[in-house]
Amino acid sequence: MPQRIKIKDLLNVTEFGQQVTVKGWVRTFRNNQFIAINDGSTINNIQAVVDFNHSDEVLLKRLTTGAAISITGELIESLGKGQRVEVKVNQLEILGDSDAEKYPLQPKKHSLEFLREIAHLRFRTNTFNAVFRIRHALAFAVHQFFNDRGFIYMHTPIITGSDAEGAGEMFQVTTLDFDNTPRNEDHSVNYKEYFFGKPTNLTVSGQLEGELAAMAVGDI
């Protein structure tokens, strides 16, 4: 079996007739024939064409939105509008079924409020896919800018025992059971049984560690 090729790379191929393997999830399945597949490598889908007259009917019924599949077939030039290549399917395998009655991401527009309720799937939508690709590009550009100028990227602690600049309320981090917190005789919290041995919080600033690092390595 040919090695799996990312859809991003397939969409740029200029040599047709080769056997390719694509793995991803079903975006849409139309007319018992056309499968739109996405694997996350690009916001664009690739179309796979199934010969439904010579395909297992039970297998075709499992091609629902969200199902994870693997296809192997011939890469051909597409005659359809809006696409340059497509895959003529020779082998089709369902890697993971998707219950059409329960899978919430159907091929229609969803509100951002609705997508907040399905955070584990919202990255599969074009909106979140595009947003985070832009964020990736911006973050990479910032890091590349400073890296090219000799700066060191410092990872400052996320959990801290200090209150940084003393600004605002802190978010406490604890491994203790709030409903059964160990107490001293004076009813204060017994932090000796705590993971860190003292009160800790989410940091609100990496400034302190940044100042220390700057005095050691310079540009940070």
CATH number of 7-96: 2.40.50.140
Sequence-ordered list of residues with C-beta below 8 angstroms from that of 175, at least 6 positions apart, any chain: 194, 195
Residue pointed to by tokens 């200029």: 14
**pLDDT for 27:** 95
**pLDDT for 193:** 77
Reading the block at residue 48, the tokens are: 């796979």
**pLDDT for 178:** 75
Neighbours of 216 (CB within 10 A): 9
Interval 18-73: pLDDT, tens: 999 999 999 999 998 999 999 999 999 999 999 988 888 999 999 999 999 999 99
**pLDDT for 95:** 96
Domain ranges (residues) in the chain = 7-96, 112-148, 159-217
- Using CA atoms, how far apart are residues 144 and 151, in angstroms rounded to an integer? 10
Judged by DSSP in three states, 22 sits in strand
| Spans in the chain with pLDDT lower than 50 | none
- What string of DSSP letters covers 79-114? -STT-SEEEEEEEEEEEE---TTT----SS---HHH
Look up the pTM and report it: 0.78
